[in-house]
Each structure stands twice: as structure tokens, then as C-alpha cells.
Amino acid sequence: MQLAPLYPVLYRVLNPLFPACLWAGQSTHPVVALTFDDGPHPDYTPPLLDVLERYQVTASFFVLGQRVDRYPDLTQQIYQRGHWLGLHGYRHEGFPWLSAQALRQSLTDTQRAIAHACGLEPTVVHQQVRDVRPPNGLFTPKTLSDLERWHYRPVMWSVVPEDWLEPGVDVVLDRVLQQVQNGSHIVLHDGYYGGRDVAATVERLIPALVARNFRFVTIDDLWQQMAIAS
């Protein structure tokens, strides 16, 4: 079932209701954040990284801990190329259906996997890798309360082209370009669903956004913008 037309509406409704989440950056800044969920993937992540490097774009990757454990070298490449790492849970499980203990363990296990893959101290990763995007964008007020209590930062989205259904590069590109504006936070996927087209999509998307005078920033940059604005 395609919900692509509904995501802009959901963004406008949910953004003011849950201000503790990062939905987008400031509308006064001509920047966008490219973000990627569900990876790393051995077939889809490497060509995506090559495209980003060719255009000298820094992006944000919300990784699954299970995939990090399976492909530590790919995770290390993401980190070594300067991209921002966030947490998508250890497995692709809806947060509202996990107990608080299970959710916290899922995030801790993902941090542990990142620390091992990237050769970093676990305490450093626990302090620095704190951005969490719930799988499928599903959360409850309790989810947000728990994340805040554990000192994580909840991250959502403003542009969702539903690439995981693989509608084709042209469709994904058109959806993004119709919705993008200053501060947009764009969600794409480099995992099993949607990853097949992600490198080709980004290969065309970056020049199109540059032509509109956008600069590329990370999720951390968007948080910093919001902190300054407040």
C-alpha cells in the first residue's frame, strides 16, 4: 500500500505535536540532510558511499545493529568517510511493541556493534552516537519519554519518498524535489528494501539539489541549528 501522498500531511500534523523530535532544520537555512536507514548492505552501501564521496557530500546513516555485526567493515567505511552514525535498533522492530528494557537493550547492543566495528571505545560511542530513528517512524509518547530519560535524541523526517517500495528512480526523485525545502530531512534506504536503487537515486538527486542552491549537512548539524534557534 502506497502512503507517499500522506507523509507530507503527517509531517505537518506530527511536527508541532512532538517538538522533542528532530523533524527538520530551520527554514531560514538552505540546507538539507540526506539520511539512510536499514543498512549496511554489502551490495547497496558501497556504491552509495562512492557516489557521496564523488560529490563530497556528508550524510547520516541510521544503522541496524544486526547488520553492523554482520558487516563491520562496511560500518567502518561509513565512519571513516566522515558520515554521521545513528541508531535504528538492533533489529528492524517497532519500538512501541518492545518493553522499555528490550528497547534499551536494542539500542545498547547497536552501540556496542558500532564500537566494535569502528574500533572505538564503547563509552565514546555511548556518549556520541545518540540519535535514534524508530523503524517505520513508529513511536509513542512513552517511547519519547524513555529515549529522553536515557539521553538519546529522537529523529524523525520531513521528506519520505517511500523508496522502500522501489517505485523507480524517477518517481523517488520527483517526490523528493516536489517536497524539499530549506532544512529538509530526507529519508532514503540502503538496506534490503529500497537499497537497489539508492545509489542511482542519489547520483541524480545531489546535482538536482545543488542546482537549487542547497548545501548538505548531517543530522547533528540540524540539531545544532535547532539549539541555536531556541
Catalytic residues: 37, 189
The stretches of the chain forming alpha helices (DSSP H) are 7-17, 45-54, 65-70, 72-80, 100-118, 122-128, 141-149, 169-179, 198-211, 219-229
| DSSP code for 131 | E
Rounded CA separation 93/188 (Å): 18
Q: Tell me the β-bridge partners of 14.
A: none
Radius of gyration of the chain (CA): 16
Angle between helices 72-80 and 100-118 (to 10 degrees): 70
Instruction: Report phi then psi at 126, rounded to 5.
Output: -60, -35
